[in-house]
Amino acid sequence: QQPVQSPQAVILREGEDAVINCSSSKALYSVHWYRQKHGEAPVFLMILLKGGEQKGHEKISASFNEKKQQSSLYLTASQLSYSGTYFCGTEVGYQKVTFGTGTKLQVIP
């Protein structure tokens, strides 16, 4: 079963912050985050493992609450290049990743 992402879409002005949430009904080994720009393949952003801490780089970070089976992606001081569709992927079995329906993010000047 696919994880549920929220919001489905969000529009930001440059410099604003955003949070994208991902929730699963199953126990998770890990959570992956990917970004897909229009007409391109998804690109890996980060993975959060059970027992792991908040991960991130630059202005994109994420957290993973194992007990609640939830993850959140934090985008700080958004840039135009952040525009795209963000997918969370939940690993419910070894190397079996199921992706959510995606969150479309648009950053405008």
Partner 1 sequence: DGGITQSPKYLFRKEGQNVTLSCEQNLNHDAMYWYRQDPGQGLRLIYYSQIVNDFQKGDIAEGYSVSREKKESFPLTVTSAQKNPTAFYLCASSIDGGQGYYEQYFGPGTRLTVT
Q: Which residue, 15 or 44, is less far from partner 1 as judged by CB?
A: 44
Q: Which residue, 39 or 109, is less far from partner 1 as judged by CB?
A: 39
- How far is 25 from 46, CA to CA, in rounded Å? 21
Which residues lie below 8 Å from residue 68, measured CB to CB, with a gap of 6+? 23
Near partner 1 in 31-70, by CB under 8 A: 32, 34, 40-44, 47, 49-50
Min CB(42)–partner 1 separation in Å: 5
Rule CB under 8 A: choose which of 74, 83, 97, 106 binds partner 1: 97
- How far is 77 from 94, CA to CA, in rounded Å? 35
Near partner 1 in 3-22, by CB under 8 A: 5
The residues that touch partner 1, with contacts defined as CB under 8 A, are 1-2, 5, 29-30, 32, 34, 40-44, 47, 49-50, 87, 89, 94-102
